[in-house]
Amino acid sequence: MTQLNQLQELMRTLRFVETSNHLTELIKQAEQNDHSYTRFLLDIMQYEQKRREEKQVEKRLKWATFPDYKTLEEFDIKEQQSLSKKQLNQLGDLTWIDQLYNLVLLGPPGVGKTHLAIGLGIKAIYEGYKVIFTSMGDLVHALKTEEITRKSKTSLKRMRDADLVIIDDLMFMAMDQQEANLFFHLINDLHDQTSIVLTSNKAPKEWGELLGDPAITTAILDRIVHRVEIIHLNGDSYRMKHRKNIFGQESVTN
CB of 243 to ligand ADP, least distance (A): 10
CB of 206 to ligand ADP, least distance (A): 17
State the binding partner of 130 from ligand ADP, Mg ion, none, CB within 5 to 8 A by kind.
none
Q: Which of residues 175-234 bind ligand ADP (CB under 6 A)?
A: 199
N-to-C CA span, the chain: 72
Q: Of the two residues 138 and 213, which places its CB atom closer to ligand ADP in the complex? A: 138
Spell out the residues 6+ positions from residue 87 whose beta carbon is closer than 8 angstroms to its own.
Answer: 231
Instruction: List, as one string, the DSSP characters of 174-229.
Output: ---HHHHHHHHHHHHHHTTTSEEEEEESS-GGGHHHHH--HHHHHHHHHHHHTTEE
CB of 202 to Mg ion, least distance (A): 13
Q: Of the two residues 73 and 176, which places its CB atom closer to ligand ADP in the complex? A: 73
Among 63, 75, 96, 133, binds ligand ADP (CB under 6 A): 75
Closest CA to 224 of 203, 241, 210, 238: 203
Q: Decide: is 239 part of the binding site for ligand ADP (CB under 6 A).
A: yes
CB of 185 to ligand ADP, least distance (A): 26
Per DSSP, 128 falls in state: T
Q: Which residues bind Mg ion (CB under 5 A)?
A: 113-114
Q: Decide: is 79 part of the binding site for ligand ADP (CB under 6 A).
A: yes
Q: Of the two residues 115 and 223, which places its CB atom closer to Mg ion in the complex? A: 115
CB of 67 to Mg ion, least distance (A): 9
**Rounded Cα gap, residues 41 and 251, in angstroms:** 57
Closest CA to 129 of 68, 224, 56: 56
Q: Decide: is 123 part of the binding site for ligand ADP (CB under 6 A).
A: no
Q: Decide: is 111 part of the binding site for ligand ADP (CB under 6 A).
A: yes
Tell me the C-alpha to C-alpha distance, in Å, between residue 216 and each of 24, 137, 172, 203, 232: 61, 18, 18, 17, 24
The residue ranges that bind ligand ADP (CB under 6 A) are 70, 74-76, 79-80, 107, 109-115, 199, 238-239
